[in-house]
C-alpha cells in the first residue's frame, strides 16, 4: 500500500517541503530509515539523524529549522509525534479493512447478527443473540459468548475470549489472549474453614476507543458491571477485578492489578507492576510510579505517588535518600555506643 507525501500531508494537515509526489510504502525510525519509508523527528536529541537518514520523508515540527542540508522531503506539522500516530492509525485501519468475509470453519449462531464488511477468522465462535457492528474484525480462535454486543470498527485479535453478556464499544482494540468477563474472585468463608463460591452474575462494559493489551483479564461484576470508560488504554498482562471502574483516558502499564470494587478516576497514569487494594477511590489525574502499592484512597486530584505503601512522590524520594544513608548512620551509632561505653568505663575507674 503506497501513499504520496502530499496525501499524507493532507491527512495530518501538514505542509510539504520538497517532492509532494514521492511515494511511501512503509514506516521506520529515523535512525533506521530506508528508501520508501516515512519517519518523524520529535525529540531534539535525534536531530543529527535527519541529516543522514535514508527515509524518503520525515515529519517535523513547523518550527524546525535544519542546520545542514536535508535530503528527505519534509512534512511540517504542529506536533510530529501526534501526527505520526494519526498516520499509523490510518495505516492500520486501511490494512484491517482488507480483511472481510468468513474463513472456514467458523461458527455463528443463527440468532446472532453481524453488520456490513465484517471479518470472521477460522475457528472463531459467535454465540446466541450476539450483535456485531459494522467493520468488526474477529480473528481466528476468538470466542464470543451469548448475548455479547460489539460496536462498529472494533478489532478482536486471535484467541480473545469474551464471556456472555459483555458489551464492547466502537473502535476498540483487544489484543491476543485477553479474557473479558471471566468470573470475579468471589468466595465466602465458611465456619469449617472452606470457601463457598459466590456466583458472578454481572457483566463487563468497555466504552468506545478502549485498547486492551495481550493476555489481560477483566473480570465480570458480581452484580452490575465492571466498567472501562472511554479512551482507556491497558497494557499487556493486567488484572482488573470485579466491579472495578476505570475512568476516561486512564492508562495502565503491564503487570498492574486492581482489586475488586475500586474506582479509578479520569486521566490517571499507572505505571508497571502497581498493585491497588479493593474498595477505594483514586482521584482524577493521579499518577503512580512503577511497583507501587496503593493501600488507601487517593482523594486529591493530580497527586503523584510512589513506593509501597505509596506516599507522595517527593516525600518518597526524600525517604529513599534517608534509607540509603541507614548503613552509614548505623555505623556512626555503633561508634557512639562504643565511645559511650569507654567513657562510662573510664568514669567508673576514676571514681574508684
What is the β-pairing status of strands 23-24 and 3-4? Answer: antiparallel
The pLDDT of residue 96? 65
Cα 1 to Cα 12, 94, 223, 304, distances in angstroms: 18, 9, 47, 44
Which of 9, 121, 127 lies closest to 57 in space, CA to CA? 9
The pLDDT of residue 40? 96
Measured CA to CA, the distance from residue 148 to residue 24 in angstroms comes to 40
62, pLDDT greater than 90 = yes
The pLDDT of residue 309? 85
- Residue 24: CB partners within 8 Å, gap ≥ 6? 2, 3, 4, 5, 8, 36, 37, 38, 56, 57
Catalytic residue check, 279: no
Cα 73 to Cα 19, 43, 60, 324, distances in angstroms: 6, 18, 10, 52
**CA 49 centroid distance within chain:** 29
Measured CA to CA, the distance from residue 310 to residue 324 in angstroms comes to 18
Phi, psi of 125 (to 5 degrees): -135, 130
Residue percentage of the chain with pLDDT more than 70: 99
- Residue 193: CB partners within 8 Å, gap ≥ 6? none
Which position among 76, 137, 209, 242 bears the catalytic label? 242
The H or E element spanning position 131 is strand 131-132
The pLDDT of residue 149? 98
For residue 10, give the DSSP letter. Answer: H
Q: Which of 308-317, 321-330, 341-350 comes out lowest in average pLDDT? A: 341-350
Measured CA to CA, the distance from residue 173 to residue 95 in angstroms comes to 14
The pLDDT of residue 94? 75
Count the Cβ atoms, other than its own, within 10 Å of residue 224.
14
Count the Cβ atoms, other than its own, within 10 Å of residue 292.
25
Q: Cβ(126)–Cβ(112) under 8 Å?
A: yes
Q: What is the mean pLDDT of the chain?
A: 94
**3-state secondary structure string across 45-98:** HHHHHHCCCCCCEEEEECCCCCCCCCCCEEEEECCHHHHHHHHHHHHHHHHHHC
| Span 76-96, pLDDT tens digits | 999 999 999 999 888 877 776
350, pLDDT greater than 80 = no
Measured CA to CA, the distance from residue 176 to residue 206 in angstroms comes to 17
Mean pLDDT of 335-339: 91
∠ CA 166-220-127, nearest 5°, is 35
97, pLDDT greater than 80 = no
The pLDDT of residue 90? 84
| Span 102-156, pLDDT tens digits | 999 999 999 999 999 999 999 999 999 999 999 999 999 999 999 999 999 999 9
| Span 170-180, pLDDT tens digits | 999 999 999 99
Query: Is residue 168 exposed (0-12), middle (13-18) or buried (19+ Cβ within 10 Å)?
Result: buried
The pTM of the full predicted model, rounded to 2 decimals, is: 0.81
338, pLDDT greater than 70 = yes
Amino acid at each position: 500500500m503506497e501513499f504520496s507525501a502530499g496525501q499524507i500531508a493532507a491527512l495530518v494537515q501538514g505542509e510539504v517541503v520538497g517532492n509532494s509526489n514521492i511515494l511511501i510504502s512503509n514506516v521506520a525510525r529515523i535512525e533506521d530509515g530506508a528508501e520508501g519509508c516515512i519517519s518523524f523527528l520529535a525529540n531534539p536529541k535525534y536531530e543529527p539523524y535527519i541529516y543522514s537518514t535514508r527515509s524518503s520523508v520525515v515529519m517535523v515540527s513547523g518550527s524546525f529549522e535544519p542546520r545542514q542540508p536535508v535530503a528527505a522531503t519534509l512534512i511540517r506539522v504542529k506536533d510530529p509525534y501526534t501526527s505520526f500516530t494519526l498516520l499509523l492509525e490510518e495505516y492500520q485501519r486501511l490494512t484491517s479493512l482488507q480483511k472481510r468475509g468468513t474463513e472456514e470453519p467458523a461458527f455463528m449462531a443463527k440468532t446472532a447478527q453481524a453488520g456490513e464488511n465484517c471479518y470472521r477468522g477460522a475457528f472463531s465462535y459467535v454465540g446466541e443473540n450476539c450483535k456485531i457492528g459494522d467493520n468488526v474484525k474477529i480473528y481466528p480462535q476468538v470466542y464470543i459468548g451469548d448475548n455479547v454486543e460489539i460496536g462498529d470498527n472494533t478489532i478482536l485479535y486471535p484467541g480473545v475470549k469474551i464471556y456472555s453478556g459483555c458489551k464492547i464499544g466502537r473502535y476498540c482494540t483487544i489484543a491476543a489472549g485477553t479474557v473479558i468477563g471471566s468470573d470475579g474472585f468471589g468466595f465466602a468463608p465458611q465456619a469449617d474453614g472452606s470457601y463457598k463460591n459466590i456466583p458472578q452474575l454481572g457483566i463487563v462494559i468497555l466504552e468506545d476507543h478502549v485498547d486492551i493489551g495481550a493476555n489481560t483479564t477483566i473480570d465480570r461484576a458480581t452484580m452490575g458491571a465492571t466498567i472501562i470508560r472511554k479512551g482507556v488504554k491497558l497494557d499487556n498482562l493486567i488484572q482488573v477485578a470485579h466491579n472495578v471502574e476505570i475512568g476516561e483516558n486512564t492508562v495502565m502499564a503491564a503487570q498492574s492489578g486492581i482489586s475488586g470494587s475500586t474506582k479509578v478516576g479520569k486521566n490517571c497514569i499507572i505505571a508497571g507492576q502497581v498493585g491497588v487494594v479493593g474498595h477505594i477511590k483514586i482521584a482524577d489525574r493521579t499518577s503512580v510510579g512503577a511497583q507501587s502499592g496503593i493501600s488507601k484512597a487517593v482523594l486529591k486530584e493530580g497527586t503523584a505517588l510512589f513506593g509501597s505503601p505509596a506516599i507522595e512522590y517527593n516525600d518518597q524520594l526524600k525517604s529513599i535518600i534517608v534509607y540509603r544513608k541507614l548503613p552509614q548512620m548505623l555505623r556512626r551509632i555503633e561508634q557512639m555506643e562504643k565511645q559511650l561505653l569507654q567513657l562510662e568505663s573510664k568514669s567508673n575507674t576514676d571514681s574508684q
